[in-house]
Chain A
Amino acid sequence: MSSIKIELHENQVKELVEVCRSFNNEAGELINVLHKAQGIFGYLPAEVQEIVARELKVSVAKVYGVVTFYSFFTMVPKGQHPISICMGTACYVRGAEKVLDEFKRKLKVPVGETTPDGKFSLNCLRCVGACGLAPVVMVGDKTYGRVSPDGVKEILAEYA
Chain B
Amino acid sequence: MATRNRKPAKSAQRPAKRKQTAAAVKAGKAAKKRLAAARRADPVVTEIVRNAVVAITEEMKTNLMRTAYSMIIYEAQDFTVGLFTARGEIISIGIGLPTFIRGMGDTVKAMLAHFGEKGIMPGDVLVTNDAYITGSHLNHITLVVPIFDGGKLIAFSTCMAHWADIGGALNVMTRDIFSEGLQVPILKMHSAGKINEDLVAILRMNVRIPERAIGDLHAQIATVQTGARRFHELMKRYGCTQVMNGIAAIMDHSEALARKHVLSIPDGEYEAGSFMDDDGVDAGKRVPIKVKVIVSGDEMTIDLTDVSKQVKGFYNSGEAAGRGCCQVAFKCVTSGMERPINEGSFRPLKIILPAGRVVSATKPAPMRRWMTYPMTVIDTIFKALAPAIPNRVIAGHHAELMTTQLHGHLPDGKMFILSGGGLTGGGWGAKCGADGANATICINDGDTHNSPIEQIEAKYPVEALRYSLREDSGGAGQWQGGLGTEKMVRATDEFVMNSYIERVYCRPWGLFGGHPAAGNQVAVLMAGAEHELHFPSGKVIGRMLKPGDAYILKSGGGGGYGSPLDRPIDKVEEDLREGYISKQRAQACYGLIFDVASGEVDHEATETKRAQLRTISDSVARPEIEDAAIVEADAHAGHSATEHELPEGVAFPLRCC
Partners in one complex: no
- List the interface of chain A (C-beta within 8 A of B): none
